[in-house]
Structure 1
Amino acid sequence: MENSQGRDILTVTTTVGSRDDAQKLARAIMQARLAACVQVEEGLTSFYRWQGKECEDAELRLTVKTLPGCEAALQALFREQHPYELPQFVAVRMQAGEGYFAWVRGEVAVPEDPRETLGL
């Protein structure tokens, strides 16, 4: 069995309400080099409670493939650019295959300070 230690990637998911918002957020993430890939999935319906009210809305899911060292910078970017007042930010650490990990590592620029990415 191959040793996969040291090949952790981070998958972050969030949702938005429109294709335009999904594209804007995906482009901002990519331009900041905070991900190797952002996948956008349409056709979701979310059922949830918000401020005491039951809601049902069409949404799009963004799945961000990045490195663990980008988590704080992504959270900062979401605070600045995500269209929702309280955006979903669910991060899962995963073991990647050697080739895929090398590609992600080559495409992502892990910031020393998350604020640098946003020019804060």
Structure 2
Amino acid sequence: MEDRQDRDILAITTTVGSRADAERLARAILERRLAACVQVEEGLTSFYRWQGKDCEDAEVRLTIKTLPACEAALGELFLEKHPYEVPQFLCTSMRASAEYLAWVRAEVRAPAAGGEPDPV
């Protein structure tokens, strides 16, 4: 019997300040095969405190569908490519249908122990 954890995918959400930034980040993630899909949602307004000031900014949310084994590599990519000094990096484990999980597994190249993606 398949363990529930064997059917989990990871959804990571982040926000950026523009559609162009969202597209750049999404393309970088997909180029490295660290996700099967990156959804981009415009039309958000974030209210937050930053460096002691109340802020209100338009943002674009990215939802990244990947495998749990890619979490660390995506964190590294965010350090390199994300435009924010402190990017949102929220991870949610989600149980996927067998068919959706098979598609994600086929599209993602989880990094090997050394940090590089497994060869295709």
Q: TM-score, normalised by structure 2?
A: 0.92
Q: How far, CA to CA, are the matches of 1:115 and 1:5 in structure 2?
A: 22
Are 1:47 and 1:57, in contact at CA under 8 Å, matched by a contact in 2?
yes
Match of 2:96 in 1: 96
1:57-108 Cα distance to aligned partner (Å, 9 max, x none): 0000000000000000000000000000000000011110000000001000
Alignment-mate amino acid for residue 70 of structure 2: C
Is 1:62 aligned with 2:62?
A: yes
- Equivalent residues, number: 116
1:14-53 Cα distance to aligned partner (Å, 9 max, x none): 0000011000000000000000000000000000000000
Q: How far, CA to CA, are the matches of 2:68 and 2:4 in structure 1?
A: 15
Q: Please report how far the alpha carbon of residue 113 of structure 1 lies from its aligned counterpart in structure 2 after TM superposition.
A: 4.3
Gap regions ≥5 residues in structure 2: none
Identity %: 68
Change (3 A) 1:114 1:40: farther
Q: Please report how far the alpha carbon of residue 4 of structure 1 lies from its aligned counterpart in structure 2 after TM superposition.
A: 3.6
Is 1:72 aligned with 2:76?
A: no
Q: How far, CA to CA, are the matches of 1:111 and 1:33 in structure 2?
A: 9
Change (3 A) 1:5 1:87: closer
Q: TM-score, normalised by structure 1?
A: 0.92
Q: Which runs of 4+ in 1 moved over 3 A?
A: 2-5
